[in-house]
Structure 1
Amino acid sequence: MTGLEDLLRPGLIGVFCGLNPGLRAAATGFHFEGNGNRFWQTMHLAGFTDHRLSPSEGHRLLDYGYGLTTVVSRPTASAAELSTHEYTGSAASLVARLEQFRPAYIAFLGKAAYTSLSHQRTIDWGPQAARLGPSRVWVLPNPSGRNLGFSLLELVEAYRAFRHATEDTQHADQPFR
C-alpha cells in the first residue's frame, strides 16, 4: 500500500496538509476517506466549497483554489504510529513541493507534524510567525473522527478563520477569486 497522490498545482491559495494517509484513504486513493472523518463536511460548512464534496470528488478542491498533501506518505491505521523522525525526515520533500507549486498558505491539520518540523515544543493554533518555504503557515485541528478534542462546530470555526485569512490572497490564474 502506498501513499496518496498530492492534489497540487501552481497558484493555489492554500494547501491542506494532513499528517499521513489513513489505510482506507491509501487503499481507495481518496484523501480523507474513512468513517468518521469530518474534513469534507468541515470544508463545506466553513465556506470553502459550495457543497459537500465526497472523497472521490476531492480533486475538485483545486477548482476552489486549494490543494491537498500529506507530510508523511506512509499509510497507517493511526497517526500515533508515526515518529518524530518520520516527520522531520519528510520535511525536505514537503518544502520541495511547496517551492515547486508555491501556495500562499500551508495549513497543517494537527500540531504534531508542524511541531516536529519547526522544532518547537509547543505551538498555538492558527497563524504561525515562520514560513515554510514560500508559504505562510497555519495550524488547524485535525478533522479525524478520532480527534475528540474538537466538536464539528469548533472545527468549522477554526477552518472558517483560515478561510477568512486567505480571502485577500490574489492569484491571477484563479477566476473564482
Structure 2
Amino acid sequence: MKPISSSESHRGLPDILEAGLSTVFCGINPGLRAAATGHHFAGRGNRFWRVLHLAGFTPEVLSPDNDRMLLRYGCGLTAAVGRPTARADELSRSEIREAAAGFEKKIERHVPRYVAFLGKLAIAQMSGSRDIQWGLQTAAFGGALVWVLPNPSGLNRTFSLDALVDAYRELYVAAFRETEAARSCATSP
C-alpha cells in the first residue's frame, strides 16, 4: 500500500447517505488512511466491518472498498467532523462543537430513523451533555433517534470484539425489528 501524503490526508471523506435510511453510522472524523483511500473505516486495525456483519447488519463482511454497498442494507456512513486526523483526540472540543449545526442539518436532510454515534466524544460535545450512556439516548438529534455505540477503532481496546458485537446487535434489533414487522404485515393475506 502506498504511503499517505499530507495533501491526500486533508481531502476528507465522502458521505455515504441517502434519504430514509434505517441507520446512519457516525464516526468522529475520518482517519488518515480512510481519507487517503476515499473509503470509510479503512484502517488496518478497525473492526467496524467485521462487527457490522457479526451484529447482523450485513450478510457478509464488507471491505472498505465496498463501503457504498452498505446502502443496500438500509445503512449509511458519515463523520461528525470532516477533517481527517491520525487519532480523534487530535480534534479540539471546539472544532467538534462548531461542526454540530452543519452536521445536524445533514441528518435532518437525510431523515434516518437512527443516527449511531461511534463513541461518546462527538455527541457529548455536540449536545453539551456530559452524561452520555451507551445505547439509545433520550434526546433526538436532527430528528433522528440517537444511539451511542463503542468506537470500533483498533485503538479502542476497552471493548472486545464480542462486546462490540453485542452493543451493535442491540441497535440492529431495534432498527430492523420494526422494519421486519411492517414487511410481515404488508405481505400477510
TM band (smaller chain):
over 0.9
Q: Secondary structure at the match of 1:129?
A: coil
In the aligned structure 2, how far is the partner of 1:170 from the partner of 1:155?
Answer: 23
Counterpart residue identity of residue 142, structure 1: N
Q: Is structure 2 residue 29 aligned with structure 1 residue 15?
A: no
Residue 131 of structure 1 is matched in structure 2 by 140
Residue 29 of structure 1 is matched in structure 2 by 38
Q: What TM-score results when the alignment is normalised by the length of structure 1?
A: 0.94
In the aligned structure 2, how far is the partner of 1:100 from the partner of 1:168?
Answer: 24
Where relative contact order (Cα < 8 A, 6+ residues apart) is larger, the structure is 1
Contact 1:13 1:169 (C-alpha < 8 Å) held by counterparts: no
In the aligned structure 2, how far is the partner of 1:145 from the partner of 1:163?
Answer: 22
Q: What TM-score results when the alignment is normalised by the length of structure 2?
A: 0.88
Residue 63 of structure 1 is matched in structure 2 by 72
Structure 1 gaps of 5+ residues are: none
**Deviations, residues 44-72 of structure 1 (Å, cap 9, x unaligned):** 00010000000000000000000000000
Structure 2 gaps of 5+ residues are: 1-9, 184-189
Residue 149 of structure 1 is matched in structure 2 by 158
Runs of 4 or more consecutive aligned structure 1 residues displaced over 6 Å after TM superposition: none
1 or 2, which has the higher strand percentage?
1
In the aligned structure 2, how far is the partner of 1:46 from the partner of 1:125?
Answer: 16
Counterpart residue identity of residue 136, structure 1: L
Q: Is structure 2 residue 66 aligned with structure 1 residue 42?
A: no
Indicate which of 92, 97, 101 corresponds to 1:83. 92
Give % identity: 53
In the aligned structure 1, how far is the partner of 2:59 from the partner of 2:179?
Answer: 20
CA-atom RMSD in angstroms: 1.3
Residue 96 of structure 1 is matched in structure 2 by 105
Alignment of 1:109-120 (within 5 A): 109-120=118-129
In the aligned structure 2, how far is the partner of 1:133 from the partner of 1:59?
Answer: 23
